[in-house]
């Protein structure tokens, strides 16, 4: 399984942000722009908290297993694989969603902050960007915790010899 690259996540964020900004301008020109839901940053923050808690739990269990503590529960490989897949999927979706709401937020900041409803929408969009960054950071933390020592992608021919 390949590790997430922060450059790919940043590219997804920027492309989604630019497309969302252009879409928000176009939508606003032909009608009313739909609002940013208050639940969006809350859901992203909950996902970030779940990922961070998973990473801390796995790190503690792996440390106890390495130190051979009596009664230490190890990490099942399937559980670790599921945690990494969940982290990677969450990071990709969070980059997309944060870019989307970031683009809408930039549009709202440049268009009309004098309207109180639009100002609130800009705050919600900013919260989505911050919560999306928290999801990405937590996902990278989970990946770092669960990276196997023999996962070295620098030498592609070493696996062919085995």
| pLDDT at site 154 | 57
DSSP string, 10-61: HHHHHHHHHHHHHHHHHHHHHSPPPPPPTHHHHHHHHHHHHHHHHHHHHHHH
| pLDDT at site 155 | 57
pTM score, whole prediction: 0.84
The CA distance from 160 to 156, in Å, is 8
Helix axes 77-111, 116-145, angle to 10 degrees: 160
| pLDDT at site 44 | 95
| pLDDT at site 152 | 54
Residues of the chain scoring pLDDT < 70? 150-162
Q: How far is CA 78 from CA 65, 75, 87, 109, 146, in A?
A: 17, 9, 14, 45, 12
State phi, psi for 52 to the nearest 5 degrees. Answer: -65, -40
Sequence-ordered list of residues with C-beta below 8 angstroms from that of 80, at least 6 positions apart, any chain: 58, 146
The CA distance from 107 to 77, in Å, is 45
Are 40 and 49 a contacting pair, CB within 8 Å?
no
| pLDDT at site 4 | 86
The CA distance from 77 to 34, in Å, is 44
| pLDDT at site 162 | 44
| pLDDT at site 161 | 45
| pLDDT at site 55 | 93
């Amino acid at each position: 399984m390949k590790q997430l690259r922060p450059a790919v996540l940043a590219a997804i964020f920027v492309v989604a942000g630019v497309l969302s900004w252009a879409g928000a301008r176009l939508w606003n020109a032909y009608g009313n722009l739909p609002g940013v839901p208050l639940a969006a940053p809350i859901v992203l923050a909950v996902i970030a908290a779940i990922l961070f808690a998973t990473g801390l739990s796995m790190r503690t269990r792996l440390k106890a297993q390495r130190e051979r503590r009596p009664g230490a529960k190890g990490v099942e490989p399937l559980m670790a694989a599921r945690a990494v897949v969940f982290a990677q999927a969450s990071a990709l979706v969070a980059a997309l969603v944060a870019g989307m709401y970031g683009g809408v937020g930039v549009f709202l900041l440049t268009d009309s902050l004098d309207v109180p409803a639009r100002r609130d929408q800009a705050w919600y969009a900013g919260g989505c960007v911050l919560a999306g960054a928290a999801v990405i950071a937590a996902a990278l933390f989970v990946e770092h915790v669960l990276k196997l020592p023999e996962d070295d992608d620098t030498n592609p021919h070493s696996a062919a010899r085995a």
